[in-house]
Chain A
Amino acid sequence: MSGGGGASRDDNGDSSTGPRFAVDTVPVAAGSADVEQPYAALGLKPEEYERIREILGRRPTSAELAMYSVMWSEHCSYKSSKVHLRQFGDKTTEQMRASLLVGIGENAGVVDIGGGWAVTYKVESHNHPSYVEPYQGAATGVGGIVRDIMSMGARPIAVMDALRFGALDHPDTARVLPAVVAGVGGYGNCLGLPNIGGEVEFDPCYQGNPLVNALCVGSMRIEDIHLASAEGAGNLVVLFGAKTGGDGIGGVSVLASESFDSSGSTKRPAVQVGDPFAEKVLIECCLELYAARVVAGIQDLGGAGLSCATSELASNGDGGMSVHLDRVPLRDASLSPEEILMSESQERMMAVVEPERLDDFMSITARWDVEATVLGQVTDGDTLQVYWGSELIVDVPPRSVAHDGPVYERPMARPAYLDAQVADSTVGLPAPEEGPELAQALLDVLASPNGCDVTWVTQQYDRYVRGNTAQAMPDDAGVVRVDEVTGRGVVISADVNPRFAQLDPYAGAQHALAESYRNVAVSGGVPTAVSDCLNFGSPEDPAVMWQFERAVSGLADGCTALGIPVTGGNVSFYNQTGDLAVHPTPLVAVLGVIEDVAARNRAGWQQPGLAVFLLGATGDDLDGSLWAQVAHQHLGGLPPPVDLEAERRLGRTVLAAGANGMLHSAHDLSEGGLAMALAEAVLRHGIGIEADLEGLCLRDGIEAFSALFSESGARALIAVAEDDVPDLVDLCAAQQQPAIRIGTTGSDSLRVEDLYDLPLSRLRAAHTGVIQRALALAASPA
């Protein structure tokens, strides 16, 4: 594995410590102001380079330049997004903050879920690496987010993945999709973390820019929260985990700061290589270290490797830090100091340890056969100093590297094409009216890449390990038990409809929030916190920047309206090939609390004779719908209006009905509308329904087509026992919740009075095997 991406260089085999290179030292830099430095090749702009010189009062050494270049990259510094992300903090009220134990800015936010338990969760993108090297890109995406969660002091308890690819029938999708799924599964399965849900979507806009967003959630007792800070002069800085190699050198700045250019050179060596076994051992080792209370501060090594870990730990602490880079255990002895600082080798952590606890620390790492090395110590100075042998090669204010990167107010402009796209609504498109046409439309949607069954993906993931999974795909949200005694747990869903966000990014982000909130509530969780992963095109394009600002505003305003805080998130820019940017894809993951996961609601009914109600009102909301995509490859008009008050009401109603013990099932309505929700509910446990939509059409003033395929928000399908119908009606009336009975469960078909009667077997035949068949077709010679 050695020699991954390192520059080739003769190695004289001298393994003794000390300089092996003509290193650029601080004294040398101070005395040679005019040396030309390759800042541009490292991705720094001339004015950024000048600022570094200003901060240091001299030119940076080559090692300092390496550190600044990775830490000031878009990926690490959020330089284009920072001015907008402030909204999340600004719009969070004291009341919203009540359950927040650790907020934005740490490795991941931490939420109080009651009973003395805290959970931490976060979503991160690993988009570009997953296009270049799909298996390793996706695998290390999971590995990275899991380490973020570990570094808060938590035991990781589950993962989720939201995946977006180009068209299902495109040949490159057959290259990327199976390898990404195998990578997510290969890493997560080997870590022993259940995969409890996610999304899979296909759209040509992701052809050259697939999105791989990985979520991890972890739990801990509140008193076990750990933070990334290096405090207390004399405390030791310990690097532990895997050895450092040449993989992922410059991955951060090279891969995340440039769009793909078809004429560009291949960037394969820049993708990191993962070893899930090493990470599994690291997890157990860290948890034992935490339990033994020998860790004063902890930080994972991810993007920007040691540059990030040292500068963040030091800048969050109360003094400086001094480390000896030549002590870093290497897989590749030929690595230069700059490369060691930038390496993104996986499965590494950095801890701050009090000297008197070091022996205990080392005996625990030894027990797990984890290599641990004291690199240096916390100092009472105010700079981060890095030595190579006896030479001082870095001497910088740590904050200037970690937190005071450049901040840009990039120009924004509403995209020129948007007026025409919004004007091009679905009104006037041929739509089905009669029963057989509506039945065919449903079968087409069910068999479409974005409406089909995704078991081919989810069956490659272990959803059972650790034995606490109460619910996973294909139900609406993942539900995991945290407390094995009381059953207290969390409910999580990650959602976005990028087609809505393309038409109106403000509304699109709120729809993502609303759908995730709805999924959590209908599954029985009280929505408590929000995390996000904002995937966009190039921030240097004013149209993309406008989309980004609108989406952030929409999400921040939406969170205020729903009364739940954003706990953290991730921004991924430059998801763009040439002029083609991905649809704005603000993935939102709402986390809910459930006192006993046994009380969760299933998405499908499990017995005949139940009364089925549709909660919420339906309008003629077909723009941006799955039907428009499947029937007409159409994307235009405006997304459904967002009504967050209605979402709150729906959530309250479903949770109240659940608390009364009357819910046999609850399923959210989203893509594909009621037609899709009914089909999913009957297929879930193989029990059909006799439905009648006449009352619904009359009440809402709509035709059968809209009743079936409209994607209006704030709706859910619930099933209750016949005896409970009066109570449910009373409860809905008290909540002012629109509710109408649309049918009774039973039989083995999906029957809608006067429209269609489709046997479950026919629905299932249309719905399943779609992905397998497409991949098999792509694999077979034409």
Chain B
Amino acid sequence: MRVGVVTFPGSLDDHDARRAVHLAGAEPVRLWHADAGLQGVEAVILPGGFSYGDYLRAGAIARFSPVMDAVIPAAQDGLPVLGICNGFQVLCESHLLPGALVRNDHQQFRCQDQTLRVESTHTAWTSGFQAGQQVVVTLKNGEGAYMADDRTLDELEEQGRVVARYVGDNPNGSRRAIAGVTNARGNVVGLMPHPEHAVESGYGPSVDGLTFFTSVLNSVVRA
């Protein structure tokens, strides 16, 4: 299986996302922000970083890049797309996911090992987890507070579209401690924490993150 990883100018965790794809047993494919095509990949990852310097607003410029012109309709057609950190911000700016990510409530960048509870396993990227399973991955962001109005949040909860929640102290002021959400179809997932930094023993807090990447293999094979 071929999984595309987009590199925007200012992407930082693209290398790590490609490594995670490789360790999960798939073939990582480099996608360049200025290219319109997706090279026939079967899933796409928008990695963490500071695309286009995060000028204006995190993810706001990346959303208009040529590659997103291809990603957006493909995602609407069911292509599995995972946005991590800055990628989550791009997905919200693209309206593929509801809500927005704003500056952490404590106003600082925060890097720490973070426990999450996987709330929904009905997505392309979390099908390999048990519902309610707790995992430890890396959290690192400056603008990671998930915001949406109450109606949207209620809707997300009712439809089982909250993918993961922070366990313990809320690290950034996200509403309802939300760490990740998905679209109605479950193929597009946005995650503020970084599963790609928890895929290899000795180089992160755990290897719990690998399941996000093996999940997509299985969902595509099944589909």
Contact = CB atoms under 8 A, between A and B. Distances in A.
A190 B16 contact: no
Contacts of B202: 470, 597-598
Interface in A170-195: 182, 185-186, 189-192
Given A190-B10, A280-B12, A464 B111 contact: yes
Interface in B176-223: 194, 196-197, 199-200, 202-204
Contact of B108 (A191, A460, A462, A464): A460
A191 B108 CA distance: 17
A460 B111 contact: yes
A459 B19 CA distance: 24
Interface string B138-158: 101010000000000000000
B193 to A, nearest CB: 11
B55 A192 contact: no
B93 interface: no
Contacts of B200: 467
> Is the interface on chain B under 10, 10 to 19, 20 to 34, or 35 or more residues?
20 to 34
A195 to B, nearest CB: 9
Interface in A451-472: 458-470
Given A192-B49, A368-B9, A185 B203 contact: no
Contacts of A464: 111, 138, 140, 194, 197, 203-204
B20 to A, nearest CB: 8
B15 A185 contact: no
Interface residues of A, number: 34
A29 B23 CA distance: 67
B191 to A, nearest CB: 15
Nearest to B197: A464
Contacts, number: 82
Contacts of A369: 9
B203 A467 contact: yes
A29 B198 CA distance: 65
A192 B12 contact: yes
B112 interface: yes
A164 interface: no
Contacts of B55: 277
Contacts of A461: 109, 111
B129 interface: no
B9 A192 contact: no
Contact of A192 (B13, B110, B112): B13
Contacts of A276: 50, 53
A462 B142 CA distance: 11
A278 B16 CA distance: 21
Interface in B18-48: 19, 34, 48
A519 B54 CA distance: 38
A391 interface: no
Given A192-B49, A277-B53, A277-B55, A467 B111 contact: no
A467 B50 contact: no
Contacts of B34: 367
Interface in B44-80: 48-50, 52-55
Interface in A523-562: none
A182 B16 CA distance: 24
A465 B16 contact: yes
Nearest to A277: B53
Interface string A575-600: 00000000000000000000001100
A460 B112 CA distance: 9
Interface string A768-779: 000000000000
Given A190-B10, A192-B49, A280-B10, A462 B196 contact: no
A185 B109 contact: yes
A70 B66 CA distance: 45
Most B CB contacts (10 A, CB to CB) among A186, A189, A464, A597 go to A464
A462 B140 contact: yes
In the A-B complex, the 9 residue pairs with the smallest Cβ-Cβ separation, listed nearest first, are: A277-B53, A192-B12, A467-B16, A464-B197, A464-B138, A462-B140, A190-B50, A281-B9, A460-B109
8 contacts: A182-B108, A189-B140, A277-B53, A368-B9, A460-B110, A465-B140, A467-B16, A467-B19
